[in-house]
Amino acid sequence: MSLSAFLAQNAVRTEHVLFAVSPRFVDEDGEAEQWEIRCLTAAEDESLRRSCARCVPVPGRRGQYMSETDAGLYLGRLAAACTVYPDLNDRSLQDSYGVMGAEELLRAMLTAGEYAVYLDKVQEVCGFARTMQDEVNEAKN
């Protein structure tokens, strides 16, 4: 056993994943265009989660608050942050859909079903075995 396996230069790099989100986006050959998805680091994910947190009052506890993560906002930001290609921050692409911002562009580009499938794929690439949507659905029931 050696600590050298844990050195940054010895760690296996996570590869970007290509995924055809929709058959509606085709290349010159008529093939479905592949989107490129990257895995976030734990630090990047924590920063995203914090940006999606808000303080809500604790029911029955006057003057006390707890932190709550907006799951929909988090998943949208996660998907936008993980998308390498297409460049969701490209102004001409955003202008073509009449939106501003990467998260809004994703929602405008994809149908509801495609968006749900893409969110699932992004979570899989990031190593989440159980999706945030599963957690939301379980909390609702």
- State pTM to two decimals: 0.80
**Once rounded to an integer, what is the mean pLDDT over residues 55-79?**
89
pLDDT in tens, 78-112: 999 999 999 999 999 999 999 999 999 999 999 99
Report the pLDDT value the prediction gives residue 10, as an integer from 0 to 100: 81
Contacts 24+ apart (CB under 8 A), 103-112: 103/76, 103/77, 103/79, 105/80, 106/76, 106/79, 106/80, 107/76, 110/21, 110/22, 111/22
Q: Is 132's pLDDT higher than 60?
A: no
CATH 3.40.50.1000 fits 15-38+71-140, yes or no: no
Domain boundaries, the chain: 15-38+71-140
pLDDT in tens, 4-41: 888 888 888 888 999 999 999 998 998 999 999 999 99
| 116 Cβ contact list (under 8 Å, min separation 6) | 133
If DSSP codes are grouped into helix, strand and coil, which group holds residue 101? coil
Report the pLDDT value the prediction gives residue 14, as an integer from 0 to 100: 84
The single-letter DSSP state of residue 15 is P
Report the pLDDT value the prediction gives residue 68, as an integer from 0 to 100: 86
